[in-house]
Structures are given as structure tokens and as C-alpha cells.
Amino acid sequence: MNKLKNYGLWVAIAALFYMILEDLGFSIDPTRWETYVTLIIAILIYLGIVSNPKDGKWFKDKGDQE
């Protein structure tokens, strides 16, 4: 469940979603897209859905230590 709280995961999902929309023929200004993603991520952080656990960094979790 910690992986769903990782900020890097949600940024990567947003980038993938943008690429899919572009491939489907939708044209969204990258500046506006960045604004939308920032707003959505901020709301998720405020609601406590997304956090950056101090023991993990981006895609690495506690169990992924080398």
C-alpha cells in the first residue's frame, strides 16, 4: 500500500496518461497539463492519499534496499 502513496508513482502515471491522450489525438498544451497534474497531486497530498515516506525515496521502498 505504501507504493500508492509514493509521489513519483503518481507523476509517472500522469506522464503515461498524457502520452496516451496524445496518441489518441487529443492535443493538450504541456503547460496546462503541468498545471492540472500539479493541482491534482496537491489535492491528493492534502487529503493524505499521497505522501513521501521518510524511509523511501521516489520508487524505492523499505523492502527495495540494496
**Rounded mean pLDDT, 41-51:** 79
Length of the chain: 66
Residue 64 lies in a domain: no
At 11-24, the pLDDT tens digits run 888 889 989 999 99
Residue 20 lies in a domain: yes
Residue 22 lies in a domain: yes
Round to whole Å and give the CA distance between 55 and 23.
37
At 26-43, the pLDDT tens digits run 888 888 888 988 888 888
Residue 65 lies in a domain: no
Chain centroid to CA 6: how far?
Answer: 8
Q: Check residues 21 and 48 and name the one with the higher pLDDT.
A: 21
- Mean pLDDT (the chain, rounded): 76
CA dihedral of residues 25, 26, 28, 30 (deg, nearest 10): -40
Residue 62 lies in a domain: no
* Segments forming the whole domain that contains residue 21: 2-55
Q: What is the pLDDT of residue 38?
A: 86
Residue 63: CA atoms inside 13 Å, Cβ hemisphere, count? Answer: 3
Q: What is the pLDDT of residue 66?
A: 47
Residue 63 lies in a domain: no
Number of independent structural domains in the chain: 1
Residue 19 lies in a domain: yes
